[in-house]
Every structure is written in C-alpha cells, then in structure tokens.
A and B are shown apart, each in its own frame.
Chain A
Amino acid sequence: MTPSTATAVIGTEAGPTWYRACALDDLEPLWGEAALIGGEQVALFRLSDGRVLAVTHRDPATASYVMARGIVGSRGDRLTIASPLHKQVYDLVTGECLSSPALHLRTFPARVVDGAVEIGIPA
C-alpha cells in the first residue's frame, strides 16, 4: 500500500480538476475506502467489473464521515450504497436517496487511467 500523492493535479480542462487518488489495485472489489482529495473526503468503490465510483464520504443524514464503510448493492437496476449508520440507501451513480427523498449524496466523477484511480473535483 503505497500512498500516492492526492494533491497531484492531473489536468484542468473545462470540467473538474482531476486528482490521482490511488492505484486501482489498492482497492478491494466492493470494499469502500475513503480518500483525502483536494480537501475533500471522498468515498471510493471499486466494482466487480473494475469500474470505480466516487461519492462524498460524508453521510448526509448525520454529517459523519463514514459512507465508504457502507454496503454496496443494487435496487432493481440501480447500484446502491447504504449508509453504515442508519442504512439510508442511495443511488451510487446519481446520489439520489431511495429511502428518504429529502437527502442527497454528493457524487464525484471517477475514472481509471493506466491502473490509477482519478477523481474529479468540480472547480
């Protein structure tokens, strides 16, 4: 487990600023991990097919930073993440809360480039 430097700016096109978070191999499939990126706590999830999804690590219901420790699953066709504290279920792609419509989970763009996981933080 070699920590990569989270502050490395990969590029700044028109969209978000991309940061390298870690190597894909640092992530165990479906085992969420937190990363400190550009001052944000981000929860990273490596899916079984090698894709990586990123949402905020902050639990919208309690403001505690725990989301990476939730359980990844599905509801119908949607990929979900359940808060480890009170089990609200969120769409892992859109951040929509499926159990309490008032809540919303912030999502971040994520991509895998040459075996490295990169997270986009909006400017």
Chain B
Amino acid sequence: MPRPASTPLSQPTSHGSGAQAAAVAQVAEIGPTPEPAVRATRVVIVGGGPAAHRLTEALQARSLDDPGHPDPVHVTVVSEETHLPYDRVALSRRLLAADDLTLGSPDLWVGASVALRSGSTVTGIDPVARTVTVSPTGTAAGAATDATEVLEYDELVLATGSHATRPAIPGAEHCYVYRTVDDVDFLRGEVGRLATALGRPARVVVVGGGLLGLEAAGGLQKLGASASIVQSGGWLMSAQLDQGAGQALGRLIAAQGITVHTGFRPREIRLSPSGVVGGVVLANGRMLEADLVVFAIGITPRDELARDAGLTIADRGGVVIGADCRTSAEHVWAIGEVASIDGVCVGLVAPANAMAEVVADRLHGGDAEFPGIDDATKLKLSGVEVASFGDAFARTEHSLEVVYADPARGLYQKLVVTDDARTLLGGMFVGDASPYSSLRPLVGRELPSEPGAYLAAAGADAAVSGDLPDDVAVCSCNNVTAGTVRAAIAGADGTDPCTDLGELKTCTRAGTQCGSCVPLVKKLLETELTKSGIAVSRALCEHFELSRSELFESVRILELTSFEDILARFGTGLGCDVCKPTVASILATQRSDYILDAGRGALQDTNDRALANMQKDGTYSVVPRIPGGEITPQKLKVIAEVAADFNLYTKITGGQRIDLFGARLEQLPDIWTRLVDAGFESGQAYGKSLRTVKSCVGSTWCRFGVQDAVSMAIALELRYRGLRAPHKFKFGVSGCARECAEARSKDVGVIATELGWNIYVGGNGGFQPAHAQLLASDLDDETLVKYIDRYLMYYIRTGDRLQRTARWMEELDGGLDHVREVVVEDSLGIAEDLERAMAAHVDNYEDEWAATLADPDRLRRFRSFVNEPTTPDPSVVQVLERDQPRPARPDELAGPVLLSGPSIPVRKA
C-alpha cells in the first residue's frame, strides 16, 4: 500500500508490524526510538459495530493475503460497548435466547496488528494534528482524567453508527430503546421481572411500526409480554411497503395477538404517582396502558465528533462522504450509518459492509467506489415474512405493478417491472417471501419468465434458479456474487472445492449475515455440483440410489423388515459398511426388534455389533445407563466392584456417566450379568442413539433452581433411551437460566423458566460446535415432551446419514423456522403421526443387554473364538499407568517394559 505522501515518517513511534496492542494506547508517552525500516500505517476506527468489524477484517485479510507486504497496517478499534463487535441485525435472536451474536471469529482481535479498545469512547478529534482523545466510556465529554489518552493516527475511520431516536415528549426518559445487546438483555430481564412483580404478563408498547419495532414487539410477545405497536403512519413498515402490503402485514401481526395502533404519534408517557410508567397517551388523546415502553422510531447518526471537529455534516445529519468514503477532512473516512452519501444515511448492514470494503481497498492503494445503496430488506417474525427490494414503490416512469393479494391468507406479493413487463425493477412480499432471495439479485435484468409466474398464485416454482449470471450479487450483506460462489464450489485458485453448504458459507461468507440468501446459495451449490458431475447425489452409497430419508420413508410405507428385502427392492450388489448400518438403524427405529437377530447382526456397525464401544486394541468399553447422572452409592459401588474385578480402566464421561474400558468381547456377558443384576441397563453408548441427558440438581437442592431438572432429565432419558437416529444425540436439562447442565450445547436442551421450560434444539459439540436455538418457551411438561417427540422423529425421518441435528437444520429449507412450523404449528399435518411413531418406540423399548443375557443363542455372538469360545485374544497387552490398565504402545511392546496380557502374557509383533 502506498503510504499517503504526508505521513510523517520521522514521528517517533513504537509501531513495528509486531507492535503490541497496548502500545497503541501509550504512543504519546513513549520516547524516541530508532526508526524501524517500515512503519505500519496506523488506522484508528472510531466505533465497534458491524462496519468497524468488517473494515478490520477486510484490512486483515488483505495483509494476510500478502504477508510480506512492505506497508503493514495496524488497526486500533475504539468501541464504547464492552462486547466484541456483534451482529446487530440478529438482535431479535438475542432478545429471545441470549444468543452470542459476536461477528466472525474472536481470533481477529488477538493478532499483533489489531487492537480492540472496548469500553472506550473517543471524545475528540484533531484532524490537523491527526490525533484522537480516548476516555473510558462514561467519562463526561471534555473532562480530562488520568485515563484520558491521545492516540495518533495516519488514517481515521468514523464508524460511530447511530443513536436510537427518542421523541421529545414528556416522560420519554422513562422509556427504553432497541439498539444494543445491553438494550435487549435489559428488555428480556425486564419482561420477566414485570411478569413476576405484577403477577400478569407485562404490557409493552413499542413505538414505531418499522422493521425494528416489529422485531421488538414480536420478540417481546414471545417472551410472554402482551405487546402492542404504535405507528404514526397509516400502516406498518410504511417506508418499505405500500398500503396493500402494509395492511396485509397488519393482519398477520394482529393474528399473533399484537395490537397495532396506526395513524397517531405518542404525545406523552403517563407515569403513576410512584413514578413508574403507566401508559402512553396518543396524539388523539387515547391512552394505552403500558408497563414498559420501547422506542423504535428510527435512528440518528452519531455525527457529533465530526461536527465538533469541523467536518462537513449533511443537512439531515451524518458525515458527508463521497463515493470513495472520504469525508471533508484529509485522512478521515466515514462508513456505516454515520456516513451520509447523497444526503442519506442508511441503517442497513449491506451498505455499511460495502463502505468498509471501499475504505479497505483505498487504504491499500485501490480505487474502489461505493456501488450505491441496496436497501432490500427481509424480515421474518415468527413465521411472518416481509421483504421489499429495488423500486418497490414503482417510482420508475411507466413501470407496471403485477400484484397478487389474498387478504384472507394475509398474502400480498408484487413485482414492479418495466412497461414491457420484461425487466424486473423491484418487488414487495408479505406473508410469503419465498421468491425474494432469487428475484432480488435480478433487479435491472430481464426476467426469464412472465412476472406473474413468480407469484404465489402461479405456484411460484419458476422463481428459484441456480442459473444466475456470474456478476449477480447473491449475498448483498457481504456482496458475494454468483460467480464467487461458483468459483468456491469449483475450488478455484488451488483451494479445495466446497461441496457442502456449511463449507461454502464459511469460505465465501455468503449467507453468514442475515441468512436470507441461504436457499439461493444452496440452489447454486446443487446446480453446480450436478453440472460438474460430482452430482448432488443424495445416494447413500453405490448400492442404494436413494438418500437415507427416502429410504426411511420407503421402508416405512412398504413395511419392509429385512435388509435382503430392502436391497432387492431398492438396491444392488451385497451392500457395504455404509448402507448396512443405515438400514439397520432405520429398521431399529421403525421396529424396535432386538438388533442382532435374524441376520440384522451382520448389518450393524462396529459398536452396535458388540453392544459396546470398540477401542483401538479391539477391546471394548462399557457404559451403563445412569439416567440424568443420578446414582445411588450402592449402585456406584457395583460399578466400582465390576471395574475392579474385571480390571477395567475407569473414567467419568462428559455426559455424567462412567465408562469402563478394556473389556474383551467374551467378558461382556459376564460384566453385564453383574450390572443387570444390580439394576443397570445398557447406556447405548455404542449406538447412534440417545446418549445421555445431562442435568444439574435443579430446584431439588440448588438455591437458584426454578424447576426440578433431575426428574425431568430422568423422565426424558427413560423416554428416549434406545431410540436410534442418523447420528448420536444428547440432551441437557438445566434447572434455571444459569444453565449449569450446558443444555444449549446439546441436540435438545431444556432450560427451566419461572413458567415452565424453554426448549432449544440443534446444539452440539464435536468438530463443528453449534449452540442450540430456541424452539419454544415456557412449556408445561406435557407440551415439552410432545415437541421433543415431534422434533426427534422429524429429524430421524429426514436427516441424512451421520448428520447431526445442527447440520440437519442448517440444510433444511427454512432452517429453524421451518422446524418450528412443523413441530409447534404442525404445518405439515404430521405431528400426530410423529407422536405415534415415538409412542411405538417407547412402548417397545427393551434393554438390549438384558435381552441378550436371556437368550443363549444371542450370547453365542460374544465368544472370542469360534473354536475356543473363552480363550482371551492373546494379542491384547496392557500396561499400568496411574494405577490403571491401558493398551501398550508399540514402543512398549518392543521394549523391556513390564507388560501384562489378559491372562496369558503373550507378546506378539
């Protein structure tokens, strides 16, 4: 990057490329040091929101692409908030489930060339001296304290964002806004606190019927509040929607129990004599009762620093920038909501990201320009879809509007096209926005079909297409084009081809911000893979053309019961280690027959085959079920005695169970005889099935517990034990929001609330960890179990082989929302069927080890050698470590170490 000509090279500085983050803060106090050969350009970013995050990431990425770059950049981000930069677009998730919204990888902030100063506020800019004054957040402006510092910069980027606007009406100071993580954390807590204090749901009035207001009201309603919306315009989202669309939306919102008051502004916040909020008085004199008032009426750019520093400010606020993102002051840039381009500040993430990329490019000597504002929006609020894009209001001369409206269904869809009805100009969708993601990239282009073909009346199947031109932006948040996505799928530039959606999202960043383009990205992936012959083949293996879920349904409908029948009907060859265990699992889920009988034994995967987990030396580990992690001292003693008697290595598992290692195949029946006699049953640690339901002690013992977590965990573990699925799955039950059972890292997480249980789904640890997401709140026991029944069965029926719940939900069209529709709203009408299937499993469950021990024919499968059934495998050699046995390592087998075999100490090469 060419350093700007005026950069003072003689300035004493400590900033080599490896300068410590802390050194940035102390620059003014450091004495002269020898001039390093190359000094990093010091970029200071004021503000720590998404725009700052994107700029930092973009600058870093450019440096990493070229590690030997002669002109390194050192970035300091000064952020008022104490959080790492987070995804403001996803605040509604935070409101419902306290999700972590941190943007990107936290690793970005630990490198030597980046310093994040959170909890710090820039209080002044001197564009001539090129310094900024930094104080801890909360320090009064202008008040110099010991903690005040002066930072020098070479380039300054203003990314200060906006304030949520509060109207100047009496009582407004008692109200709240919906802008930051702290705001939504407060609102979540406050709704709960008010409900407890008042003994009824809190009445919340949200002022503002735009995107944010709707999100806030919808979220608060879900948290149990009774929400209403006050909108001064004639209909909701009047900035994005026309009257027809706004009214359709109003009906859908009202259907969720949210009252909408349109046409009047609030005049005053009425307080009770004790000074707490009691209501909102509207301009027409009507009073709405309220315990909590939230303003979501818009945002005001935080241009005060720039104003004080003498930068040019737009008439309607915001720092004036050109297409190059430069402000009126040299070496000062502005990006994001604070930047005013053509007299407008935009509160959307896509333009903010685009501006960040422009500045990153310019700081590296490029000449990128801001491409213009894409103000397409899509909102999803508990099933209500709203989207608008392009010239949604048909302002283009002679443009035509093609509208389909079905008021009864709350459906409104409109496309705006040129007068020849061929070129797409914009669109608006309420109720069903499924055409949005594939149409939005086509703005300004000729539509492949008649406009009407894209609307719900026509079935809307014409819409989604994997054949977009390369230059079309698929993901507008991150400005990723169809060409970029295709290149990643093909594996351009020597990188490995991305052949699954998760990988593709990671490497292109498409779909990682608002997620609305994910269906389109998925479509592109499938189209490309099909083209290149990698075939999105959902085929299980060379023997079955069908996918696991297709096979599952076929077997279910035809009521097939054996691998031979299934293979004869749908497959070829003899099967393999992929399809045989899959079929075994499908049969086990559907029929609950003993898994090793009638030829099914030969289908089972390694662990299922022995009803134990094979370890590296061919011995097994044994895990008895300990439901919920609760165990009596007597039973604990039995485990200890068994472990001691059979010389088993003993370790506590992560799932609150005990794993006994080193059991030989022929010892398993003897070990289980002891365990079953003592009342234990198989823990199914060997199955792709329910593992454990981890719990905390809950209200039984804990001072903070609000529900009986242990009883619930035991009930759930006993209900779903032995249920076989595409992959293993785990549960957690926590007795309060402190979440000591780490339930949100489980496939199904149950967390107690004052009112019942919240259920979270799709979490897992493992290679790609995922947090479970909120499916439903405040359920009673019965509804909780019903939802889990449906969720698990739906997963088992539709999941791919070895696909965990998190990936399954990611790959499902509609993701979590779709799952919620199926599980909670029964949108497919299969809820009863799913529950029936689960009931059949529960009724037919039997302990596999007790069933094995009861039948000599079954025990036969556990002999070590067909001709010497009880002779131990002579090759197994163990050594003692920390007083327990473990398999000998190859070097120990070779060397003079004290070894012990199972009974005959034999050494084999």
Contacts and interface: CB of A to CB of B under 8 A. Distances in A.
A30 B618 CA distance: 20
A12 B610 CA distance: 37
Nearest to A73: B576
B866 A21 contact: yes
A76 B182 CA distance: 61
A3 B861 CA distance: 14
- Of the listed residues B606, B609, B616, the one surrounded by the most CB atoms of chain A closer than 10 A to its CB is B606
B606 A74 contact: no
Interface stretch (B25-33, B722-730, B867-875): B867-875
- Main secondary structure on chain B at its contact with chain A? loop
A31 B575 contact: no
Given A34-B873, A65-B876, 16 more contacts: A3-B867, A30-B602, A36-B868, A63-B875, A64-B617, A64-B875, A69-B609, A69-B610, A73-B580, A74-B543, A74-B575, A75-B576, A79-B574, A80-B576, A84-B606, A85-B618
Contact of B863 (A33, A65, A79): A33
Given A29-B602, A69-B606, A84-B614, A6 B868 contact: yes
Interface residues of A, number: 42
A22 B867 contact: yes
A105 interface: no
Contact of B865 (A34, A80, A84, A87): A34
A73 B866 contact: no
A44 B863 CA distance: 13
B865 A36 contact: yes
Contacts of A37: 867
Contact of A69 (B573, B603, B614): B614
Interface string A3-36: 1111000000000000001100011111101111
A16 B580 CA distance: 35
Given A66-B614, A71-B581, A73-B576, A31 B873 contact: no
B647 interface: no
Contacts of A36: 865, 867-868, 871
Contact of A82 (B577, B864, B867): B577
B152 to A, nearest CB: 57
Contact of B867 (A21, A80, A84, A89): A21
Contact of A65 (B576, B603, B618, B868): B618
A72 interface: yes
A46 to B, nearest CB: 10
Given A31-B601, A31-B602, A41-B873, A73 B610 contact: no
Interface string B607-633: 001100010111000000000000000
Interface string B582-620: 000000000000000001011101100110001011100
Interface string A25-64: 0111111011111000100100000000000001100111
A102 interface: no
A70 interface: yes
B738 interface: no
B867 A71 contact: no
Interface of A: 1, 3-6, 21-22, 26-31, 33-37, 41, 44, 58-59, 62-66, 69-76, 79-80, 82, 84-85, 87, 89
Contacts of B574: 72-74, 79
Interface in B884-899: 890
Contacts of A87: 577
Nearest to A88: B577
- Of the listed residues A65, A71, A75, A76, the one surrounded by the most CB atoms of chain B closer than 10 A to its CB is A71
A1 B602 contact: no
A1 B890 CA distance: 35
Contacts of A76: 542, 573
A95 B576 CA distance: 16
Contact of A22 (B602, B610, B866): B866
B614 A35 contact: no
Nearest to B575: A73
B538 interface: no
Nearest to A117: B866
Contacts of A58: 875
Contacts of B193: none
Contact of B577 (A5, A26, A41, A70): A70
A31 B573 contact: no
Interface in B535-549: 542-543
A79 B575 CA distance: 10
Nearest to A77: B573
B860 interface: yes
Contacts of B873: 34, 41, 65
Contacts of A66: 614, 618
A82 B576 contact: yes
Nearest to A33: B866
A119 to B, nearest CB: 10
Interface residues of B, number: 36
A7 to B, nearest CB: 9
A64 B616 contact: yes
A31 B867 contact: no
B863 A1 contact: yes
Nearest to A87: B577
8 contacts: A6-B867, A27-B866, A35-B865, A58-B875, A59-B618, A63-B890, A64-B616, A71-B577
- Of the listed residues B542, B599, B602, the one surrounded by the most CB atoms of chain A closer than 10 A to its CB is B602
Interface string B402-438: 0000000000000000000000000000000000000
Interface string B838-878: 00000000000000000000001101111111010111100
B866 A35 contact: yes
Nearest to B564: A48
Contacts of B576: 71, 73-75, 80, 82, 89
A31 B871 contact: no
B908 to A, nearest CB: 9
Contacts of A64: 616-618, 875
B861 A31 contact: yes
Contacts of A59: 618
A14 B636 CA distance: 60
A21 B610 CA distance: 22
Nearest to A31: B602
A52 B316 CA distance: 87
A6 B868 CA distance: 8
A107 B599 CA distance: 25
B866 A85 contact: no
A34 B870 CA distance: 12
B219 to A, nearest CB: 46
B864 A89 contact: no
Contacts of B863: 1, 33
Contacts of A3: 866-869
The 3 A-B residue pairs with the shortest CB-CB distance, nearest first, are A73-B576, A30-B602, A74-B574
A106 B97 CA distance: 57
Contacts of B864: 34
A72 B609 CA distance: 13
- Of the listed residues B581, B617, B867, B868, the one surrounded by the most CB atoms of chain A closer than 10 A to its CB is B867
Contacts of B609: 69, 84
Given A28-B602, A71-B605, A35 B618 contact: no
A5 B581 CA distance: 34
A109 to B, nearest CB: 17
B573 A74 contact: yes
Contacts of B573: 73-76
A31 B602 CA distance: 5
A26 B603 CA distance: 19
- Of the listed residues A44, A85, A89, the one surrounded by the most CB atoms of chain B closer than 10 A to its CB is A85
Contacts of A80: 576
A30 B575 CA distance: 11
- Of the listed residues B543, B573, B866, B869, the one surrounded by the most CB atoms of chain A closer than 10 A to its CB is B866
- Of the listed residues B542, B617, B864, B865, the one surrounded by the most CB atoms of chain A closer than 10 A to its CB is B865
A6 to B, nearest CB: 5
A115 B346 CA distance: 84
Nearest to B596: A31
A85 B605 CA distance: 10
